[in-house]
Amino acid sequence: MNYKKKLLQKIKSKKAVVGIIGLGYVGLPLALTFAEKGFKVIGFDIDENKIPILSKGKSYIKHIPSSRIKYQVSRNKFEATFDFSRLTFCDCILICVPTPLNDNHEPDISFVENSAKAVAEYLRPGQLVVLESSTYPGTTEEILLPLFNEKFFPLGEDREGAGTLFFLAFSPEREDPGNKKYNTSTIPKVVGGVTPNCLKVASALYNQAIKQVIPVLSCKVAESAKLLENIYRSVNIALVNELKIVFDKMGIDVWEVIEAAKTKPFGFQAFYPGPGLGGHCIPIDPFYLSWKAKEFGVETKFIELAGKINTQMPYYVVQKTIEVLNDNRRTINGAKVLILGISYKKNIDDLRESPALKLIEILQEKGAEVDYSDPYVHELPKMRKYDLKMKSIVLSPSKLPSYDIVILSTDHDIFDYKQLTANCKLIIDTRNAFELKGIKSKKIIKA
């Protein structure tokens, strides 16, 4: 049987069933995008708590409205399950699971491995499998391919009298939660296949849902492209973070320097400092490449230095906080500290790798009494690295003066910056947010 021809026909007619493994910030919008384009989508997740929420048409991600989910559920285009045996009913399977770092800053690809084992268990001839999780070059062919080949050998080009038994590709996710300009369907999609047939089938699928598909020669190229995108940002953010420290010692405002530099109409792109890096990709991807490079006897000194600078930024913010408290005859031990904004960037509820979590941990270790306020995150869930057991407080003019110092970690637009200035004793601004709002005060210190 020519499985390629059959699957391409099903994709073209939108009769192919799409399975999405992992229903988080990447998988859920991807699932809804395919459903909205007319495909039947089955979403899989190991978190059983998510399934009844989605089945009722409700959302647990702020920037994804419940109405969007409810409509696709009502028209039977989207359903969620934790029963992975239903993978056998899917024609195309997209893996969108986390790829964190372990305590030694080495890749933890256990989620990818476990997902691949589940797929291998239920793999049937003619299926397409695509890995979307950010990872090191070689993951698709070194981990997924051998597992699938144990069941169906070999994967290869169509031969006379026989077709490729399954199709395997890599296409890096490029989600940007809260971005109002770009969404899943409008962000160009890079796709690499294990073979030309794999690339053709994977590209055909994404062409049905994504505005622009960019095929590349191999999975390794596609895997490396995602790393380059985020290493580029990591290195440049590390540069301005380091300059922030240097210029602060010189009495120079780094944000004013950046504003001046970006008036150059060529050869410069503005990046901005902060309390550290957040999100699932930028703080993690550089270490994936560094780890893999060691296998080839190569040191990535530049990339590793950038990663080190960025991971040290929460410590810099805490040190600045200690200095400001000391200047005002207070010590960090016993001080009441309020963190404003807990998500990793403004106007979203995404906590992945948020530097605010590290700020809380360091401050508590130094004896501070720490609260946080974030209108998008009402309670801190248990996470892989943190179990802080904290709830967001409601900001009020009567409560703010009770804190010795307030640290703005995430510059949500919803915050009342004038009220904060009027009622807080001291403010550490890690985002230059107050000045951007036209507010200046001696009680506001940039860090």
Q: Could you give the residue numbers annotated as active site?
A: 281
Q: Judge contact between 112 and 97, C-beta under 8 A.
A: yes
Q: Judge contact between 356 and 341, C-beta under 8 A.
A: yes
Question: How many other C-beta atoms are found inside a 10 Å radius of the C-beta of residue 434?
Answer: 22
Q: Is the peptide bond before 286 cis (omega within 30 degrees of 0)?
A: no
Chain centre distance of CA 144: 22
| Phi/psi of residue 147, nearest 5 degrees | -60, -45
Q: What is the Cα–Cα distance from 75 to 72, expressed in whole angstroms?
A: 5
Q: What is the Cα–Cα distance from 195 to 155, expressed in whole angstroms?
A: 8
Written in H, E and C, the secondary structure of the chain is: CCHHHHHHHHHHCCCCEEEEECCCCCHHHHHHHHHHCCCEEEEECCCCCHHHHHHCCCCCCCCCCHHHHHHHHHCCCEEEECCHHHHHHCCEEEECCCCCECCCCCECCHHHHHHHHHHHHHCCCCEEEEECCCCCCCHHHHHHHHHHHHHCCCCCCCECCECCCEEEEECCCCCCCCCCCCCCCCCCEEEEECCHHHHHHHHHHHHCCCCCEEEECCHHHHHHHHHHHHHHHHHHHHHHHHHHHHHHHHCCCHHHHHHHHCCCCCCCCCCCCCCCCCCCCCCCHHHHHHHHHHHCCCCCHHHHHHHHHHHHHHHHHHHHHHHHHHHCCCCCCCCEEEEECCCCCCCCCCCCCCHHHHHHHHHHHCCCEEEEECCCCCECCCCCCCCCCCECCCCCCCCHHHCCEEEECCCCCCCCHHHHHHHCCCEEECCCHHHHCCCCCCCEEEC
